[in-house]
Amino acid sequence: MSGGPVRVLLADDQQLVRSGFRLILSVEDDIEVVGEAADGAAAVTLARQLRPDVVLMDVQMPVMDGIEATRRVVAEDLAKVLVLTTFDHDEYVFDGLAAGASGFLLKNSDAEHLVDAVRTVAAGHALLAPQVTRRVIEQIVSSDGAGNGGAGGPGAAHGSAPATEPRLAELTPREREVLVLVGEGLSNAEIAGRLYLGEATVKTHVSNLLAKLQLRDRVQAVVLAHRCGLV
């Protein structure tokens, strides 16, 4: 991302929703809405043309749904994708993770959360609301308990993770401790409170452990922590 404002593309088939998001985001000095798309195919096309920093992507859209559009945007490295969900269907969350979404936001989130989510994703951080993380955890536990241990699970870095991960040995004791808490679905603020650390320090530990474990984001860290039995 450049030093200018965060450039956002809105993708939702409801014009009223797009207008509402534009109204909320446009009043922020560091955010610029550069385009709108009413379907997934148009979102991909506009992402190629406009190269936004973030695409705010609805799931249920005509022509091409938001999951496939996310997959194409991420595959071409066109932008970060923040997926909008109403939680009507949990599979949207897991499909979105597999497609490479950087975060999820509830459609009924307030303006402050929307703005914070756009900034967080634009900065290169994964964003999962605690309730989303816990749903992911529940799905992992359910799948593993059914004997489906991770085949094609959400966010897997290279297929299913082994029961033991050699790269875990590269973590410091504190990084391993942070990984366990990430695996439990705690936010950085919650981890900071649990370990009596500053939130900036926790962010550094999370960044370091993701790099050492070669994981894209904390979603993959949640998956790995569970599959390796750390949680």
Q: What is the pLDDT of residues 135-178, one digit of tens each?
A: 666 665 566 554 443 333 433 433 444 446 788 889 999 999 99
Q: Please compute the mean of the pLDDT values over residues 4-32 and round it to a whole number.
A: 93
Residue predicted with more confidence, 127 or 32? 32
Span 94-98, average pLDDT: 72
The domain of 217 spans 130-227
The CATH number of whichever domain residue 78 belongs to comes to 3.40.50.2300
In this prediction, residues 51-61 reach a mean pLDDT of: 93
- Summarize the confidence of residues 112-137 as an average pLDDT: 75
The answer on 107 and 50 residing in a single domain is yes
User: Smallest Cα–Cα separation from 101: which of 43, 141, 165?
Assistant: 43
CA–CA–CA angle 55, 210, 54 (5° rounding)? 10
Structure tokens at 32: 């610029």
If one compares 31 and 128, the residue with the highest pLDDT of the two is: 31
Residue 75 has pLDDT above 50, yes or no: yes
Give the domain CATH number at 135.
1.10.10.10
The mean predicted confidence, pLDDT, of the chain is 81
Of the residues 83, 101, 122, which one is the last residue of a structural domain? 122
